[in-house]
A and B are shown apart, each in its own frame.
Chain A
């Protein structure tokens, strides 16, 4: 069964450093997402990406965040200057072009720890 894969599984970084989280969505999917989950809390939407541009973003996704699809397979989330409160599990998800709703497949997550 195809899977969304994310690397690294765990990243520790110093406050103020830049991090790039990587995702390889399922190959025939067209919608891509980043979500985050602070420990013990709910999954929160960050950004959706379709047709090589951001289609929607949440209030969390401020100027410190950016996304890119640099080639045909990878989808990345960059945090320019990490803050302590960026510590969370970051999930990438992908979805086929949804008509009346379609399953979003989640990657296994990257645990980001900012120290």
Chain B
């Protein structure tokens, strides 16, 4: 089955700095890669996603890159703010005919210090 590894497990940055979180996946059939932000005690919420036919996607301060050959994808947050502090999960999604479930990485606890 799919295996998603995520690094680092914790990341502490100063407000205004950039943060980068990296994930690798094992199953080349995966074709959709969402990133979720989870605040303490709350539901995971999608912040950005990328499909396998795209190499990069940006939404304001957040960007995601995908390298299909190397089977890795990364989340980049620029100009971090204290409200960015949360746990971030990457995930990989296989096509519907292969089960369609999300396999999550282990999570990165991001702490943005004011």
A-B contact count (CB 8 A): 74
B44 and A101 within 8 A (CB): no
Interface string of B17-49 (1 = CB under 8 A from A): 000000000000001101010000011111001
Complexed CA–CA distance, A113 and B42 (Å)? 17
Q: How far is the CB of B89 from chain A (nearest CB, A)?
A: 6
CB contacts (< 8 Å) of A55 on chain B: these are 99-100
Cross-interface CB contact of A56 among B89, B100, B107, cutoff 8 Å: B100
Cross-interface CB contact of A45 among B45, B89, B103, cutoff 8 Å: B103
A104 and B43 within 8 A (CB): no
CB contacts (< 8 Å) of A45 on chain B: these are 101-104
B51 and A101 within 8 A (CB): yes
User: Which single residue of chain A is at the shortest CB-CB distance from B97?
Assistant: A55
Is B53 in the interface zone, CB < 8 Å from A?
yes
Q: How far is the CB of B64 from chain A (nearest CB, A)?
A: 13
10 more contacts with CB within 8 A, not counting A98-B96, A105-B46, are A33-B102, A41-B107, A42-B105, A45-B103, A98-B32, A100-B51, A101-B34, A101-B51, A104-B102, A108-B42
B interface residues, Cβ below 8 angstroms from A: 31-32, 34, 36, 42-46, 49, 51-53, 89, 91, 93, 95-96, 99-107
A interface residues, Cβ below 8 angstroms from B: 31, 33, 35, 41-45, 48, 50, 55-56, 58, 91, 93, 95, 97-98, 100-109
